[in-house]
Amino acid sequence: MSVTDPLETAARLVDVDRAIAILREGGLVALPTETVYGLGASALDRRAIAAVFATKGRPTHHPLIVHLADADRLPAFAATTDDAWRLAERFWPGPLTLVLPRGPLALDEVTGGLATVGLRVPAHPLTLSVLAGFGAGVAAPSANRFGRISPTSAAHVAAELPTVPILDGGPCAVGVESTIVDLSGDVPAVLRLGAVTPEAIAETLGRPVALRTEAAKTAGGERAVAPGQLASHYAPRARLELVPRDRLAARRAELSGAIVVLGDAELGHDAATWARSLYDALRRADATGPDVILVPTPPPGALAAAVLDRLRRAAAPR
Ligand code: TXA
Ligand code: MG
């Protein structure tokens, strides 16, 4: 993974007003959120959406999340339910994406032709200003090349994507992608783990929530329930090995070659700190060109399951 020249990053920075103007002109702009940086485009502009897929190298059937300034704008993009309003009220702005039956403004290009659309109100003041000023929805996948590590700083975006202008909002406070909950079926189902836990969702809704975070097997082979849930994802270039914490020292002793260990010393002493530092640490480790990046299972905390999920995918065979 290339390390970007700070001057190159600085040359690409834009302010809130410029970011709004770019979206209005049908351009792309990288936007900070509390989870990861997104590659934003007007959700109503088919050509801008096509440019998002081309810039990421992402297959076009993978749906994009539409970002809104506030929950009041939900009905334009989706059919709402009591459950949707309850979750929006408790968790927005915040790291939760709702999957709902699509509404009039949800384009096929955004939903990948699905009958549903993913929506969220992100908790970052600069991006909320952009969303409010722009006035419409902004489709934004994570601002990385398809299959690779999501960016959690402006410098990461600059290293991932050439030429895209960037609104620098500092390092992301959460550090892993939003929780995705599908409310379009009979039973609410979590499709991607994140900072909002399945337990917190179930408690808010007052009913059980299913976990559907594994890629589903179908007659046609592997099909991703949510394509962020591909078995191999969030991947560094080096081989990543995930080991139980009590086996870390023993496994380290078995390995030879250039090994980078990422443990509590590098990532912090609780799961939330791990989540915040993980992607940056993986990028830095990768940049040294190691044979193996060795990572123990994360420490406990509300974010432990989300971190473990990302590490499993980063470690999955490619
Ligand atoms: O935290 C986040 O959600 C970040 C920031 C930028 O908001 N965005 C993000 O977007 O992670 P992306 O495109 O990298 O991942 C979005 C995930 C994909 O796995 C996609 O398949 C899923 O959301 N998704 C979007 N719409 C969906 C839908 N209608 N049904 C099921 N999954 C959906
Ligand atoms: Mg992504």
Q: 67-121: per-residue pLDDT in tens?
A: 999 999 999 999 999 999 999 999 999 999 999 999 999 999 999 999 999 999 9
Q: How far is the CA of 287 from the centre of ligand 1 (A)?
A: 27
226 lines ligand 1 (CB under 6 A): yes
DSSP secondary-structure letter at 149? Answer: P
Tens of pLDDT, residue by residue over 149-185, are 999 999 999 999 989 999 999 999 999 999 999 999 9
Q: Which ligand 1 atom minimizes the distance to the CA of 39?
A: 6
pLDDT of residue 2: 52
pLDDT of residue 60: 84
How far is residue 242's CA from residue 299's CA, in Å, rounded to a whole number? Answer: 13
* pLDDT for 222 beyond 80: no
How far is residue 46's CA from residue 135's CA, in Å, rounded to a whole number? Answer: 17
Question: What residues flank ion ligand 2 with Cβ within 5 A?
Answer: 142
* pLDDT for 38 beyond 90: yes
36 lines ligand 1 (CB under 6 A): yes
* pLDDT for 33 beyond 90: yes
φ, ψ (nearest 5 deg) of residue 81: -135, 170
Residue whose structure tokens are 């949510």: 226
Say if CB 193 and CB 305 are below 8 A apart: yes
Q: Which ligand is nearest to the CA of 113?
A: 1
Query: Going by CA atoms, what residue is nearest to atom 12 of ligand 1?
Result: 141
Q: Which ligand is nearest to the CA of 140?
A: 1
Whole-angstrom CA distances from 117 to 65, 66, 318 are 7, 8, 29
Percent of the chain past pLDDT 70, that is, above it, reads 93
